[in-house]
A and B are shown apart, each in its own frame.
Chain A
Amino acid sequence: MRDIYFDNSSTTVVSKKAAEIVMHVMTCDYGNPSSLHQKGVDAEKYIKNAKKQIAKTLKVSDNEIYFTSGGTESNNWALIGGARANRRAGNKILTTPMEHPAVSEPLKMLASEGFEIVTIPVDSRGRLDIQVLENEMTEDVILISMMYVNNEIGAVTPVAEIGRLKKIKCPKALYHVDAIQAYGKYVIYPRELGIDLLSVSGHKLHGPKGTGFLYKADSAKLLPLIYGGGQQSALRSGTENVPGIAGLGVAAEEAYTDFDAKIAHMRALRDRMIAGLSEIDNVIVHGMPGDEGAPHIVNAAFIGVGAEVLQHTLENQGIYVSAGSACSSHKRAGSPTLTAIDAPREEMESSVRFSFAENNTEDEVDEALAYLKQMLPMLRRYRRK
């Protein structure tokens, strides 16, 4: 049985080229980039090259790219380092209620340090209330943190519009964008968008796990989160993960190669999936319709079926999806996003996420749909009474 992997927002398969360079660096050019000898110099070249590859995709300069251990670290650093560095300028931080825990948890921590966290509401599709946001953009705002693409339902935040408003209303604030689900799916030019800090994770775009970067505009004031040997301009100490970084560079470059065709393909898969789901009774698709939503994420509630049961059913057929938003019957902590869009309980319990990558095919979508149609009547028949 061939696997149908529709869980690319959880993680992706590492690209062959990325894996090759990781292996090569590990076994051949294994030097410490801080070493003064030739081995060190050889290793450093990979870092410089990866910076170049990434900077090119963002149209920024190489020295604005800082490597981290992944998305969670990038977000933590941007928020904690950003808030602490700008404490004297104000106290207020703006965010959305749909953030990943890698953003919402550090913000909770900052709240306990005395920062005021203001959450801008969203509607039932995950659209941000721009009017409220604009009203909250007061002079004491030091940080705005927005998720570009929501990880659960693929809702998209108007990052450009927010950047424009910010420039007028609170120009001194730092503008952080969590682009972990967006990088590689959207063309992102932080300078044009007015973004100061941008978080990216490697393993969401066919790079290795444990890799990621933070784009930090030269002008942005940021305190380090990790102190030590002074690597990466003393802003992020620790010997660089050279093999991972080399792999990340390759993956980033690949993500923006044949970009339009790949995105069109993913979008076609998404549209096909949504069209197929609309033929099934009592399926509710979350998120933004059509091109408004992200190209690779479909989140749907299959009313009357436990999300986890559906996930395991599909798994038996080699189809991998995510029921991450669902919890076991014993612990019902709803997903932050579905709570934010005010989804009813029966939708929360039955929501499953399909997330695509360019290596998925239309046949796979059709196969998944056919299997869903076959199994749903049975799954709906047996339930807790």
Chain B
Amino acid sequence: MYNSFMIKYGEIGIKGDNRHLFEDALAKRIRTLLKRIDGEFEVTKIRGRIYVNCGGDWNYDETIDVLRHVFGVVGICPVVIYEKDGVEKMKADMIQYVREEHPNCTQTFKVKARRVDKEFPLTSMEVAAELGEAILENFPDMKVDVHDPEILFDVEIRDEVYIYSKVIPGPGGMPIGTAGRAMLLLSGGIDSPVAGWMVAKRGVTIDATYFHAPPYTSERAKQKVVDLAKIVAKYTGPIRLHIVNFTDIQLYIYDQCPHEELTIIMRRYMMRIAEHFAKEEGDLGLITGESIGQVASQTMQSLRCTDAVCELPVYRPLIGFDKNDITAIAREIGTYDTSILPYEDCCTIFVAKHPVTKPIIEIIERNERKLNEKIDELVKEAIDTAEVVIAK
């Protein structure tokens, strides 16, 4: 019975002169995503609201699923649009709406009316009163509570009459494309997809880099990362995923450097390579899924060491999160089930039993010099042979 959705957007509503830019970006993003599913959708921006009118062969669940993936959407209100034909018709429609939407009819309620069409003979207050009365007459178990109602009926009188009473939460944040781009270091784990999602939620367009190490990591591990990128891309739009073959660099470090420092030195090279692609893409920063102390390479000392090789800022949105918090988000955004598939990651294949947890940057730099002979050439080759997959 629904035939429209009203989109609530919180934060972007208060942006000053740029407000229309954000609204347009949001409406455009919704339009783009709705093109992927069946149905004819009309996305309109009327006086500070975005409406999605649905027609053709559309499906409710599918449409909600799309809208729930749009950053900037705070709430999605399924709306029933009725023909406007005087107050008596409106009362009948209201009763029908209550019957279908809230069939047990025992809650407290409030009617809030908004008269956009100023030609309509009754004021907003009068409409609310009339409809409230109609509900009370027809549903004796329902009671009015204007302060804290269980159901809030919103009624808008435009060219037609819009009634809604439910809000499905959206992801919030800002529309993609309103805040520049950044490069995500994406692995097959739980954290990095969440980190990318969180930054993207602030309107940032996401690129990604993944390091694999065949034959030590498998084709399936790579496919898993592509799949993760695709899940994140449902929110962020297409992600350009750079896939770098890291095997030779890793083995060279293995040969030349102390084994306890393998991971930290490896990560420094990953940052350097990711930054290279970031600059190529015009990204304004790097994103990682690190959180303090989670593993040896994520201690404050280690983060200092990996940070030191980057010129661009490194954004770590999960820095203060516990694993449980991260897992909860991963489940919510749908990456968790893919993240836990058991394929080996290139960070773990040669990991030392006791890696350094408090690396001293001067020592790391000194040991890194042992790579001088071949490393530039290997890095160049890794960059040159990287493939780009568009995850969407």
Give the complex CA separation of A306 and B217 in angstroms. 11
- Is B259's beta carbon under 8 Å from chain A? yes
- Chain B interface: which size bin? 10 to 19
Q: Please determine whether A328 and B214 come into contact, CB atoms closer than 8 angstroms.
A: no
- Is B350's beta carbon under 8 Å from chain A? yes
Number of interface residues of A (CB under 8 A): 17
Q: Please determine whether A385 and B216 come into contact, CB atoms closer than 8 angstroms.
A: no
CB of B32 to closest CB in A, whole Å = 38
Query: Given A382-B254, A384-B349, A384-B350, A312–B214 Cβ distance below 8 Å?
Result: yes
- Is B342's beta carbon under 8 Å from chain A? yes
Q: Please determine whether A383 and B350 come into contact, CB atoms closer than 8 angstroms.
A: yes
- Is B18's beta carbon under 8 Å from chain A? no
Residue of A whose beta carbon sits closest to that of B216: A309
Give the complex CA separation of A384 and B216 in angstroms. 11
Contact of B218 among A312, A329, A330, A382 (CB under 8 A): A312
Q: Please determine whether A382 and B350 come into contact, CB atoms closer than 8 angstroms.
A: yes
CB of A238 to closest CB in B, whole Å = 32
CB of B266 to closest CB in A, whole Å = 13
User: Inside 8 A of B351's CB, which chain A residues have their CB?
Assistant: 384
CB of A329 to closest CB in B, whole Å = 6
- Is B343's beta carbon under 8 Å from chain A? yes
- Is B309's beta carbon under 8 Å from chain A? no
Q: Please determine whether A385 and B259 come into contact, CB atoms closer than 8 angstroms.
A: yes
User: Inside 8 A of B215's CB, which chain A residues have their CB?
Assistant: 309-313, 315-316
Residue of B whose beta carbon sits closest to that of A328: B342
* A333-385 with Cβ < 8 A to chain B: 382-385
Query: Given A330-B342, A383-B350, A384-B350, A312–B254 Cβ distance below 8 Å?
Result: no
* A312-336 with Cβ < 8 A to chain B: 312-313, 315-316, 328-331
- Is A196's beta carbon under 8 Å from chain B? no
Give the complex CA separation of A200 and B216 in angstroms. 36
* A190-207 with Cβ < 8 A to chain B: none
Q: Please determine whether B344 and A328 come into contact, CB atoms closer than 8 angstroms.
A: yes
- CB-defined interface of A278-310 with B at 8 Å, one 1/0 digit per residue? 000000000000000000000000000010111
- CB-defined interface of A231-246 with B at 8 Å, one 1/0 digit per residue? 0000000000000000
Give the complex CA separation of A153 and B348 in angstroms. 30
Give the complex CA separation of A308 and B342 in angstroms. 13
Residue of A whose beta carbon sits closest to that of B349: A384
User: Inside 8 A of A313's CB, which chain B residues have their CB?
Assistant: 215
Q: Please determine whether A329 and B350 come into contact, CB atoms closer than 8 angstroms.
A: no
CB of B5 to closest CB in A, whole Å = 43
Contact of B342 among A310, A315, A331 (CB under 8 A): A331
Interface residues of chain B: helix, strand, loop or mixed (majority)? loop
* A53-101 with Cβ < 8 A to chain B: none
Give the complex CA separation of A76 and B353 in angstroms. 44
Give the complex CA separation of A306 and B213 in angstroms. 14
* A140-182 with Cβ < 8 A to chain B: none
- Is B219's beta carbon under 8 Å from chain A? yes
Give the complex CA separation of A329 and B348 in angstroms. 10
Give the complex CA separation of A316 and B214 in angstroms. 9
Contact of B343 among A310, A328, A382 (CB under 8 A): A328
* B318-368 with Cβ < 8 A to chain A: 342-344, 348-353
User: Inside 8 A of B254's CB, which chain A residues have their CB?
Assistant: 382
- Is B136's beta carbon under 8 Å from chain A? no
Residue of A whose beta carbon sits closest to that of B214: A312
Q: Please determine whether B344 and A329 come into contact, CB atoms closer than 8 angstroms.
A: yes
CB of B57 to closest CB in A, whole Å = 31
Give the complex CA separation of A306 and B215 in angstroms. 10
CB of B256 to closest CB in A, whole Å = 13
* B278-323 with Cβ < 8 A to chain A: none
CB of B378 to closest CB in A, whole Å = 15
CB of A309 to closest CB in B, whole Å = 5
Residue of A whose beta carbon sits closest to that of B342: A328
Chain B residues proximal to chain A, CB less than 8 Å: 214-219, 251, 254, 259, 342-344, 348-353
9 smallest CB-CB distances across A and B, nearest first, come from: A312-B215, A313-B215, A328-B342, A330-B342, A309-B215, A312-B218, A385-B259, A309-B216, A331-B342
Chain A residues proximal to chain B, CB less than 8 Å: 306, 308-313, 315-316, 328-331, 382-385
Known contacts A313-B215, A382-B254, A385-B352, then 20 further A-B pairs from the complex at CB < 8 Å, ordered by chain A residue? A306-B216, A308-B218, A309-B216, A311-B215, A312-B214, A312-B215, A312-B216, A312-B219, A315-B215, A316-B214, A316-B215, A329-B348, A330-B344, A331-B342, A382-B251, A382-B350, A383-B350, A384-B349, A385-B259, A385-B353
A–B Cβ pairs within 8 angstroms, 22 of them: A308-B218, A309-B215, A309-B216, A312-B214, A312-B216, A312-B217, A312-B218, A315-B215, A315-B219, A316-B214, A316-B215, A328-B342, A328-B344, A329-B348, A331-B342, A382-B216, A382-B251, A384-B349, A384-B350, A385-B259, A385-B350, A385-B353
